Amino acid sequence: MDHQHTKPTAFEEKVQKLGLNRETCAASEELRRWCERNKEECYIPEWLLEQWGMSVDPNAPIQPKSRVA
């Protein structure tokens, strides 16, 4: 099976830049603020949105971003 290297999402890039992992994401205020600003434009895992009580407009198309905001 051929595995292609996929480009990380803007969310994954932000998590990596902040030095976070799945266990520490929810405690990061900086990541939370970034997600609030970008939740309509970037993919953010549902489990994290639910943990923070955030909702996303289901009609808003998610557009891939070429850079981290």
Task: Kindly report, residue by residue over 16-36, the tens digit of the pLDDT.
Answer: 999 999 999 999 999 999 999
Alpha helices in 1-69 (DSSP H): 10-18, 29-38, 46-52
- pLDDT score at 67: 47
Taking a C-beta distance cutoff of 8 angstroms, is the pair 30, 18 a contact?
yes
Neighbour count for residue 29 (Cβ, 10 Å): 7
Give percent above pLDDT 70 in the chain: 80
